[in-house]
Structure 1
Amino acid sequence: MEFEPSLSWYDLIHGFFFFFLSYNFIIIVILFLLINITILLAYILLIKRRYFHCKCDICYSYVTSSWSNNFSKICDWYANLLQNSPSKTIHIHVLDNIITANPSNVEYMLKTNFNNYPKGKPFSTILGDLLGHGIFNVDGDAWRFQRKMASLELDRCSVRSYSFQAVKEEIDNQLMPYLYSKVEGQVVDLQEIFRAFSLGTISKFSFGVKIEPLLQQLVGPFKDFSTSFDLATKLSAERALEVCSIAWKLKRFLGIGKEKKLKDAVKVIDIVAMEEVIKQRRKKLGTSLSQEKDLLSRFMESVKDNDCYLRDIIVSFLLAGRDTMASTLTSFFLLIAKHPQVETNILTEADRVLGQGQGIVMYDQIGELTYLQAAVFESMRLYPPVQFDSKFALNNDVLPDMMNTKVMKGTRVTYHPYAMGRMEVLWGKDCLEFKPERWLDEDRVFIPQNPYKYPVFQAGNRVCLGKEMALMEIKYVALSLLRDFHFVLANSFPSHVPRFAPGLTATFDGGLPVTLCTRKKYISCLAK
């Protein structure tokens, strides 16, 4: 008697489907392993090729991370190397990166031979997913167009008045009420507060749209945007630290690891830029763009229906207006908390210029506060919001330092404001001290420094267009807060110099935790 199989069509289809899935699963696993092995091998081979080609101490320290035995931050290691270099210039061969703290080299890059040192395609690729074709990530005609548009608007007196009013309203209606609610000994993170505040001011001034009130940013669902923006800038910056760009490019192609996180973060940013800003602005304005004072409206007039381009402009302005502003204010209040005499000097000057206990009421008053300006510039000397800036050489070149440093085509060339602020040859033996007086003459008049010695606002053709309005906001916020509050560093903040988190702008790892009390209460406590 023969055996008759009793398999049904269902069993056959189910078995085939199971086999197909199992087979594909194995293939996917094998492909995943092969790709990761390829990335690892490419990374190792590139390191070996560069490392064995160069046996210098600097490259060895970078590859092995042995620099961290003596320095807590890589920027301090760079500063030390540059301080001890006769030309104030070093070459990290494994990164194909020339780093300089020499003002002559900085002027040569940013002015004398400007056309040979664009941002370059490597830089644009690294930041392309976040910044797109925004002003900080393009060269040539695209850069000139955006810069011209921004320059025409920022130079208008009406725009300066509008920005002053936007900052004033945000301080009076958001920042001050929020801080007054925290005066009962609570620990607050000033860095986080300044980020939220700066987002409010830049969105109102640049886009004509109030994205979210400060309190809702800190505790509400809109915090997702700030978190995503911070993550996107952090992960974009980490791309630049890779010895082998193949690694992050393959991960981006496969949508895995940090690149997947970056993609997800950019999606959140895109939703806010497209839905919350561009569409809402169009809905509100209709066809009356020319009557509006914000920068976005001016660009919308010229760009018309290219929302992707407008999105890139928005993200660039957010990076400039939110992150650099928050970084500068955070560093300033860290130094003020450590130097109570500077705090006293600022308030004494304000009483003399504005009147006893009076605040700023007009834009022009800010320029009269020279000691406050000196304190702000001194703070940025020690803690510039952008610690370094890189260009890529279009052609072979020679820098004008004493060693005539050779630059090969395609080499990354970086000037380092953080290190330059710590150069004895530039600022004297007290260069590590916080001394606003170094910016004042005998008559207490503010004395500007050579912008190539102090390239905090860049210099030459790429000098920051929003410099004056940024200084206005920083000084307005600083004086408003110091008038009403006294800040004390929380016990959780390290007593030594702060550590920085990876990012496009300088960010304190762990924030700036402080406690605060009202100025009146502080004065009464001192009197007892």
Structure 2
Amino acid sequence: MSEILGNSPTSTFVLHRPLGRLQIFTANPSNVQHILKSHFHIYQKGAFFRMTQADLLGDGIFNTNGESWKFQRQIASHEFNTKSLRKFIEHVVDTELNSRLIPILSAAAADKTVLDFQDILQRFAFDNVCAIAFGYDPALLVPSLPEEKFMKCFEDAVRIISQRFRHVHPLLWKAKRRLDFGSEKKLRIAVEGVREFAKELIKEKKQLLNEKSELESFDLLSRFLSSGHSDENFATDIVISFILAGRDTTSAALTWFFWLVSKNADVEGEILKEIYEKSESPIFEEVKDMIYTHAALSESMRLYPPVPVDGKQAVEDDVLPDGTFVKKGTPVAYHPYAMGRSEKIWGKDWAEFKPERWLERDGMAGEEGKWNFVGRDPYTYPVFQAGPRICLGKEMAFLQMKRVVAGVMRRFRVVPAFEEGKGPIFVAYLTTKMEGGFPVRIEERA
């Protein structure tokens, strides 16, 4: 699809599917701005997307429109901007990093074992999101690396929901669901496991809040429930949405980041230089000022965006800025993966992993000043979405990722350990993955 969009004069492609169905894909920044901002009211989570994802996401923030979406967005936006939540996140991330992630990597380095680093990062992110969002510690990142039923159910549910979008026609998966057969039977079992876990969390949290005269917890679920929104199904949808947002995106971004850094020694050297320069700073002041690392993460997500393609549905007839006619009811997808590989947007060197494309130096001509980060507009780089639905957790995600990069790279080298002649295989579910995991050896730095 990236090649097709790259070869299209307008970076837009109309896919003709069986039975007269159309689907529009675009990697054109003007179209993306039109869809995500200026004509936001036309491009919604329409019936096609809501129906396909409803078993897992229900009426959570990623699968709803109108008043329900506004209400969830408003509460989440308020909570994400509180200082107390930021401090709580800093504490959670640092505790998980120092008491769990670093010791596991240290043991792997000493024993010369091969780790699946994708699995490790997913466990790290899952422990974090559960603590931040629900005040609950699943303790997945402990030396025994326990099998967790919920995590397996969640993984299966996301994978099967993603596969629904690839069916020739929705009637096929709907028939399988009605017959409770094959992948749809597996999905039903997986979703039951996910929702059972979420409901148990909510029940315990409600009981805890009833026993206390005032709210002492900083987690997001406590704040939602204590503001009077205690409908169990609604709260369950919110819980599942937060897990999807907090676990799968940062772990995917970090997995591909460590792979790219391992292949680019000059980038690794620049990041290490920055880490060592900032080592005297307070921990979270340190990561705030890590400009080169921020650029390297942005560049990594350009090539491997955690959400590779995202879709809306037109609720009325429309025409995109490039002249493409959109009939009411047509699914329209903007394509961050293709946009990150667009020569029109990034130039002839788009295939290079080059953090410097996000940076400029201060200082007079001929002098080397310090780096400044130069962001791209979110319609050229829609990795965190854009417009009214832009990601609320963007700042928190960067804070968490930079803290992990600083903590891991200061002490260890992450060395890929694929079999001879093999490398990572990119797979796209609702979020990106390395098929079969990311095998690595950990080496202590001198």
TM tier relative to shorter chain: over 0.9
- Please tell me whether residue 511 in structure 1 is matched to residue 437 in structure 2: yes
- In 1, Cα distance between the equivalents of 2:112 and 2:266? 23
1:461-476 aligned at under 5 Å gives the runs: 461-476=388-403
- 1:114 is paired with a residue whose SS is coil
- 2:161 is paired with a residue whose SS is helix
Q: Using the TM superposition, give the Cα deviation of residue 319 of structure 1 relative to its aligned residue in structure 2, in angstroms.
A: 0.3
Amino acid paired to 1:299:
F
Is the contact between residue 161 and residue 363 of structure 1 (CA under 8 Å) also seen in structure 2? no
Partner of 1:39: none
Residue deviations 1:313-339, cap 9 Å, x none?
A: 111000000011110110100101111
- In 1, Cα distance between the equivalents of 2:105 and 2:378? 36
Residue deviations 1:164-189, cap 9 Å, x none?
A: 11100010111111111111221111
Is the contact between residue 492 and residue 513 of structure 1 (CA under 8 Å) also seen in structure 2? no
Match of residue 77, structure 2, among 143, 151, 175? 151
1:362-511 aligned at under 5 Å gives the runs: 362-401=283-322, 404-443=323-362, 444-492=371-419, 495=422, 498-511=424-437
- Please tell me whether residue 161 in structure 1 is matched to residue 87 in structure 2: yes
More strand by share: 2
Is the contact between residue 154 and residue 191 of structure 2 (CA under 8 Å) also seen in structure 1? yes
Amino acid paired to 2:443:
C
- Please tell me whether residue 85 in structure 1 is matched to residue 8 in structure 2: yes
1:198-277 aligned at under 5 Å gives the runs: 198-215=125-142, 219-222=145-148, 224-275=149-200, 277=201
- Name the CA shift for 1:215/1:354 in 2 (closer, same or farther; >3 Å): closer
Q: Using the TM superposition, give the Cα deviation of residue 272 of structure 1 relative to its aligned residue in structure 2, in angstroms.
A: 1.4
Partner of 1:172: 98
- In 2, Cα distance between the equivalents of 1:418 and 1:162? 33
Give unmatched runs, 5+ long, in structure 1: 1-77, 521-528
Amino acid paired to 2:293:
L
- Name the CA shift for 1:142/1:230 in 2 (closer, same or farther; >3 Å): same
- Name the CA shift for 1:420/1:239 in 2 (closer, same or farther; >3 Å): same
- 2:41 is paired with a residue whose SS is helix
Is the contact between residue 493 and residue 513 of structure 1 (CA under 8 Å) also seen in structure 2? no
Residue deviations 1:483-518, cap 9 Å, x none?
A: 11111110327645x323352100110111011111
- 1:109 is paired with a residue whose SS is helix
- Please tell me whether residue 129 in structure 1 is matched to residue 38 in structure 2: no
Is the contact between residue 289 and residue 298 of structure 1 (CA under 8 Å) also seen in structure 2? no
- In 2, Cα distance between the equivalents of 1:207 and 1:376? 27
Is the contact between residue 289 and residue 297 of structure 1 (CA under 8 Å) also seen in structure 2? no
- In 1, Cα distance between the equivalents of 2:69 and 2:216? 25
Partner of 1:62: none
- Please tell me whether residue 117 in structure 1 is matched to residue 43 in structure 2: yes
Partner of 1:192: 119
Is the contact between residue 134 and residue 316 of structure 1 (CA under 8 Å) also seen in structure 2? yes
Is the contact between residue 238 and residue 502 of structure 1 (CA under 8 Å) also seen in structure 2? no
- Report the number of matched residues: 433
Is the contact between residue 493 and residue 512 of structure 1 (CA under 8 Å) also seen in structure 2? no
- In 2, Cα distance between the equivalents of 1:288 and 1:135? 29
Is the contact between residue 276 and residue 410 of structure 2 (CA under 8 Å) also seen in structure 1? no
- In 2, Cα distance between the equivalents of 1:253 and 1:120? 22
- 1:464 is paired with a residue whose SS is coil
- Please tell me whether residue 106 in structure 1 is matched to residue 15 in structure 2: no
TM-score after normalising by structure 1: 0.80
- In 1, Cα distance between the equivalents of 2:238 and 2:278? 38
- Name the CA shift for 1:193/1:427 in 2 (closer, same or farther; >3 Å): same
- Name the CA shift for 1:342/1:105 in 2 (closer, same or farther; >3 Å): same
Q: Using the TM superposition, give the Cα deviation of residue 287 of structure 1 relative to its aligned residue in structure 2, in angstroms.
A: 4.0
Is the contact between residue 228 and residue 266 of structure 1 (CA under 8 Å) also seen in structure 2? yes
Match of residue 202, structure 2, among 278, 302, 318? 278
More divergent stretch after superposition (390-399 vs 173-182): 173-182
Amino acid paired to 2:90:
F
Q: Using the TM superposition, give the Cα deviation of residue 465 of structure 1 relative to its aligned residue in structure 2, in angstroms.
A: 0.3
- In 2, Cα distance between the equivalents of 1:288 and 1:182? 46
- 2:215 is paired with a residue whose SS is helix
- Name the CA shift for 1:489/1:394 in 2 (closer, same or farther; >3 Å): same
- In 2, Cα distance between the equivalents of 1:100 and 1:93? 14
Is the contact between residue 393 and residue 410 of structure 1 (CA under 8 Å) also seen in structure 2? yes
Partner of 1:318: 243
- 1:487 is paired with a residue whose SS is strand
Is the contact between residue 275 and residue 410 of structure 2 (CA under 8 Å) also seen in structure 1? no
Q: Using the TM superposition, give the Cα deviation of residue 442 of structure 1 relative to its aligned residue in structure 2, in angstroms.
A: 2.3
- In 2, Cα distance between the equivalents of 1:302 and 1:288? 14
- Name the CA shift for 1:221/1:185 in 2 (closer, same or farther; >3 Å): closer
- 2:298 is paired with a residue whose SS is helix
Q: Using the TM superposition, give the Cα deviation of residue 288 of structure 1 relative to its aligned residue in structure 2, in angstroms.
A: 4.4
- Name the CA shift for 1:289/1:313 in 2 (closer, same or farther; >3 Å): farther
Amino acid paired to 2:132:
F
Superposition RMSD on alpha carbons, in Å?
1.5
Q: Which one has a bigger Cα radius of gyration? A: 1
Q: Using the TM superposition, give the Cα deviation of residue 367 of structure 1 relative to its aligned residue in structure 2, in angstroms.
A: 1.9
- Name the CA shift for 1:221/1:393 in 2 (closer, same or farther; >3 Å): same
- In 2, Cα distance between the equivalents of 1:93 and 1:221? 43
Segments ≥4 residues shifted beyond 6 Å: none
- 1:182 is paired with a residue whose SS is helix
